[in-house]
Amino acid sequence: MTKIVKKKKGELNATLAFPNVKLTLRSNDPVCSLRELNKVLHALKAIEFNREFYECEEDPLFFKLSYLSEEVKNHNESMDFIKTVAKIEENLKHKKIAVENTRILDFQSNQYTSNVDRMKLKNKINILCGGVEHANYALIHVIGDGNNDEKISIVDKIKNKMPHAEIKSIFTNKDLLGKTVIEGVFFGPFEEDNLY
């Protein structure tokens, strides 16, 4: 005779307190409810993140763009572009990748320079542009300590992947632990299932 033992899944009881709202959550299946809980947390974080970020807090764009870097949020021209295109296009995707930099020592000046690893860059751009090849508009933000010519070259490679898109770009000079980060906001007729 075999004894059958029922596995108890457990319970989730949580209280989330934010300055303007307090939520009490209960679930009999905590593992399955984590995805929904994560969505709630991101939405609530977006509300408190920056209230002046978008004119209408009830607009879904406000929540979708909470993932943008501070540099993009503080760049007025980029935000105007995003808000204008969001009125035209149906969907958007926000994607971010990081590429290793190669440090090169110049013996004449005794200084290090940083260049993006070209072999890894090609694969990373394929990942960044995957699913957004048919974008109509895009904002590309390149962050790293490389020179602007290298950053322009990165944007040109992205433009080659999306020849139909109108692409705006901004550059930030910042040391990110030996990496170059490429952030993209893509607008177009994307499938809802493939967003984010």
Domains of the chain and any CATH numbers: 90-194 (3.30.1330.20)
Model confidence at 118, in pLDDT bands (50, 70, 90)?
A: confident
Q: Which of 46 and 179 is assigned the larger pLDDT?
A: 179
The alpha carbon dihedral of 122, 86, 81, 69 has a sign of negative
What's the average model confidence in pLDDT over 26-39? 75
Q: Which of 47 and 64 is assigned the larger pLDDT?
A: 64
Number of other residues whose CB lies within 10 A of the CB of residue 85: 20
CB 114 within 8 A of CB 144: yes
Q: State whether residue 15 is helix, strand or coil.
A: strand
Poorest-confidence range of 26-30, 121-125, 140-144? Answer: 26-30
What's the average model confidence in pLDDT over 99-113? 72
CB 112 within 8 A of CB 105: yes
What's the average model confidence in pLDDT over 26-47? 71
Poorest-confidence range of 128-137, 139-148, 184-193? Answer: 184-193
- For tokens 């990373």, what's the residue? 124
